[in-house]
A and B are shown apart, each in its own frame.
Chain A
Amino acid sequence: MDNIKEKILSLASDATFDEGSLLTVTVPSAQLRAVAEYLRKEEQFDYLQDLIGMDWGESLGVIYRLFSTAKNQQAILLKTSTSDRENPELFTVSDLWESANLYEREVYDFFGIKFINHPGMRRLFLRGNWEGFPLRKDYDMSSNPLTMENQSIEEMETVTTLNMSNEGLVNSSFQLFGEKEYIVNMGPQHPATHGVLHLRVSLEGETVNKIDPHFGYIHRGIEKMCEAYTYPQMLHLADRLDYLSGTMNRHAICLCVEKALQLEVPERAQYVRTILDELTRIASHLLGWGCMCMDMGSITAFVYGMRDREKIMDIFEESGGGRLMCNYSVIGGLSKDIHPNFLKRVREFIPYMRKMLKEYHILFTENPIARGRMRDIGFLTKEQAIAYGVTGPSGRASGWMNDVRKLEPYAAYDKIKFEPMMRTEGGTFERYIVRLDEVEESLRMLEQLVDGIPEGDFCAKTKAIIKLPEGEYFQRVENARGDFGVYISSKGDKNPYRVKFRSPCMTLVSALSPITCGEKIADLVMIGASLDYVIPCIDR
């Protein structure tokens, strides 16, 4: 670490360091580019986990959260800011980390920071004619009355870029698709988009040439809402991000707040939370499996997946009181103790699911039509997976060990034995099979958890009004789709100053374009299903 510091000081003499739990480097905006290049190329910080836009009041800025997959998950936090609030400009890092492409568009959308040399600077979630930048602290909430006017597609696809050339900064704009391209709309209302994702697909016959995703059809401004909420109130929004791994997202926020409060969570609560997480993972993978089968035309498999998922929903409903929005974890533990039937039901579910899993394999995995369709398409290399930030089962299918449960164990994950499911080829079939393998592994974990669950308290005592000490808090968990991160910046109030959720789905969608171009349009749907993204998680 010390030589990194020295090197950064030689590149940016004004850099300041803050060594807490992880090294935080603050560099002036002029030297950001040099430091980022150094970290990426020489120190192999190849995984940009999150890129957080910030409004510190007098200055706007960006926080880069970097990990090095080669160097045993070494992490570093890079901060930069600009005091120009009228026309903030920073250099892009999207050529160093591909995942930064969408992240920077998001920061532009919410904070108005323009990134120089970014290949396609335009809004990500909001309409092109949106007034102001909503996550800035001085944003006027009444500046955008509800309009019912349509935005023309040409306007949406006009890309402006800000390039650094010899004559200084040059603004230019171009149209994303040519006039003669055969463009098919997939979504936002379409049977196969798994939510309101709008893909503009340029076709050559049946072959996909270019994909441009449009987000924002279900954008609710959850991060902005969180700034007005107290910490317990924030929790219910977590269920509504990625609704298929709601309990995990909720778990992440609880862990983050508990870490900030240095609250000791009873062991029983930790075990129950882990059981819930794994049940949610199974439920989510079952739905993902079913949807993927349905996208290939096998509707029966979808119904089977939903049928077995129902058993998990019943377990949730009995103990938590809700099915999809379980609302079970709270800050400090659980909202109520588990139902007397809980363990019995989970114990019954494990052998049932094993039997059904065998049927799934015979019905679909071994089916020559299904195999033929999944084989040899949609390859994502390990390097691509890291660069695009494709985490979770999809990343593990490419051979990238990114399981947060192993890397940064939380709750009861360090008390049980399990192996992250890995494949190396990174094709569609591998992504498919990793999910089913994970279901099996989760069942094995559930067996250990159910047997090891201790008696005792289910919730730690918290104050009536929870105030976080001033500071920045990170927490990541492994949700069903990958690395879900929570960032809370607190100024000591009962409301957070800024909340950012790292959505694993957004990076999944960004990887859709490089792996699908050149394949058939029927495969686009299937590759999308194999990545298994959930739109409300992207749109937040």
Chain B
Amino acid sequence: MKNLVNYIKAILLGIWNLLLGMKITMINFFRPKITEQYPENRGTQVMFERFRGELTMPHNANNEHKCTACGICQMNCPNGTITVISKQETDEATGKTKKVLDKYEYDLGSCIFCDLCVRSCPQDAIEWSQAFEHSVFTRSKLVEQLNHEGSKLAVKEKVTETK
């Protein structure tokens, strides 16, 4: 008899717990939905400002960047994502030759977003943008040149101050 009572009790308790579980799913049925409506919310979606989307080299209004082509970023990069190609340029006024940036190549396809290049750059010439829509049709399009066409090194403000 006791067994029978326990048997029925166990069944009822089981049903009760199942119903409690169903209550939870029903509560969630009416909760606001968490899905991001991605292509539709393009206009309103804001990424966090520290998000590492893609390496960029900011240029000012005069088409000038801060990269001195020192190559520290290339040295720090663990998988050869960055190639800094420099050239020798003669300053016409002084007649001195110096190393300037020719091409700053960045292969998005092999970048692992480890942040070492940005952290190690002594000039703060490169930074992350929040762009995340990287898909292209061929792999070669992932290799980007970060310095703009015809850009040159910005004259440091610090230098002008000391003068």
On A, residues with C-beta under 8 Å from B are 229-230, 232-233, 235-236, 300, 304, 307, 310, 314, 317-322, 325, 327, 330, 335-336, 339, 359, 362-364, 366-369, 464
Contact = CB atoms under 8 A, between A and B. Distances in A.
B70 to A, nearest CB: 12
Interface in B59-88: 76, 78
A99 B27 CA distance: 46
Given A321-B48, A321-B115, A327-B114, A368 B24 contact: no
B14 interface: yes
Name A's interface SS: helix
Contacts of A330: 119
Q: Bin the interface of chain B by size.
A: 20 to 34
22 contacts: A232-B76, A233-B78, A300-B25, A300-B28, A304-B28, A314-B48, A318-B48, A318-B50, A319-B50, A321-B48, A322-B52, A325-B112, A327-B114, A339-B48, A359-B24, A359-B27, A363-B25, A364-B21, A366-B17, A367-B21, A368-B14, A368-B18
Name B's interface SS: helix
Contact of B115 (A318, A335, A369): A335
Q: Which 9 A-B pairs have the closest CB atoms?
A: A236-B114, A321-B50, A368-B14, A233-B78, A363-B24, A321-B52, A318-B48, A366-B17, A363-B21
Contacts of B27: 359
A335 B113 CA distance: 13
B50 A367 contact: no
A339 B114 contact: no
Contact of B113 (A327, A359, A362): A327
Contacts of B24: 359, 362-363
Interface of B: 13-14, 17-18, 20-21, 23-25, 27-28, 34, 48, 50-52, 76, 78, 112-116, 119-120, 128
Contacts of B23: 362
Contacts of B20: 362, 366
Nearest to B47: A317
Contacts of A464: 120
A230 B20 CA distance: 55
Contacts of B128: 321
Contacts of A325: 112-113
Contact of B51 (A310, A317, A363, A369): A317
Given A236-B78, A310-B34, A319-B50, A327 B21 contact: no
Given A335-B119, A362-B20, A236 B112 contact: yes
